[in-house]
Structure 1
Amino acid sequence: MVERFSMNPVSCKLLNEAWEKEFPDEVAIAERMLALLDELEHYKSREERVTKLVLDNSTSWDALYKKLEAAEKRIAELDKRLIEYAGIATREAHRVAELEARTVILPEPIIVLHRRDFTDAHREIYAYPEAEVNAALADAGIGVKGE
């Protein structure tokens, strides 16, 4: 059902004049309608492109977010290993310092071979008495293995 309302004659006349000025004939009406349809299609197309772009980006964002989560998880694992290795390195550094702090005073070497035909630098061969070296190492708390 169409609802009708009444207008005063002056308003009606002004409205008709404005209509005729804007649309002098049916061609002008058709041109305006086509222009409006073109504009509508343009905006619909634009909306579709924007929607596709948003969907594509949301897919990309999802993939990037998953990669980010995996990277953060890997970083946490590596941080944990780093802390473990730092503890090991600290213990080993203390052990090295402890070993380096031990001083072993070796006995005087003895000449075991004297050759006249060699030069002065190579004429004598020195050796340490094994029992005295082992005793010095044992005093420093250093064990000796082997023959």
Structure 2
Amino acid sequence: MTDAELAHTKELAFWMTERVFMNPISAKFLTEDWRKVFPDEVAVAERMKALVEALEAKDARIAGMKAERDEFRRRLNLDRDILADADKRIAELQESNAQVIHSRDHYKHISEELMRRIHELQSRAEAAEKCLSNLAAVSRRYLPDYDEHPEIQAADDLLEQNSIVTAGIQI
């Protein structure tokens, strides 16, 4: 049954239910139209069966569309959950990245301070070494009995050890 036939049958059925409220002439024309379309009870039964089948087909199509809609909603909710989890993970990673950058900057500042302190201590050690070497030179020059003064020998030993330690520090 085509859509045009279905539409015509629906219209006739509607007007047949409304004929009680019509004037007698309109009801007579409607009844004549009805008899042309449905000459006997078999034609009415066939047409009604076709209408029921069309209705069932439409209902099946609607049920299929509802199932597709429900599946689409389920997938949409799943995608939303995945997206929400991904957003949470991105926020966690951004926070972690900010902490790493802060730690890196902190350690960089500390390392710069330590490098400055190393250079300062190294320059002080070099100055002390020069001072000790000057004192040792003076003591050798002005103390003929150098071997009899253990404190001066200890200062010379300290000077040698300091030279070895300073040479071992390389930056």
Partner of residue 131, structure 2: none
- Mapping of residues 103-114 of structure 1, within 5 Å: none
2:88 to 73, 84, 102: 73
Post-superposition offset of 1:72 = 1.4
Partner of residue 120, structure 1: none
- Separation in 1, partners of 2:30, 2:96: 82
Q: 1:46 to 1:130 in 2, by over 3 A?
A: farther
Q: 1:6 to 1:87 in 2, by over 3 A?
A: closer
- Separation in 2, partners of 1:56, 1:135: 76
- Separation in 2, partners of 1:77, 1:12: 77
Post-superposition offset of 1:5 = 4.4
**Which has the larger share of strand?**
1
* One-letter identity of the residue aligned with 1:79: Q
- Mapping of residues 1-147 of structure 1, within 5 Å: 5=20, 7-95=22-110, 99=115, 131-132=162-163, 134-135=165-166
Q: 1:63 to 1:9 in 2, by over 3 A?
A: closer
- Separation in 2, partners of 1:62, 1:43: 28
Aligned length: 114
Q: 1:7 to 1:67 in 2, by over 3 A?
A: closer
- Separation in 2, partners of 1:86, 1:42: 65
**Which has the larger share of helix?**
2
Q: Percent identity?
A: 33
- Separation in 1, partners of 2:66, 2:77: 16
- Separation in 2, partners of 1:65, 1:34: 46
Q: 1:87 to 1:137 in 2, by over 3 A?
A: farther
Q: TM-score, normalised by structure 2?
A: 0.51
Post-superposition offset of 1:80 = 0.7
Q: 1:94 to 1:7 in 2, by over 3 A?
A: closer
Structure 1 unaligned blocks of 5 or more:
108-128, 143-147
Structure 2 unaligned blocks of 5 or more:
1-18, 127-159
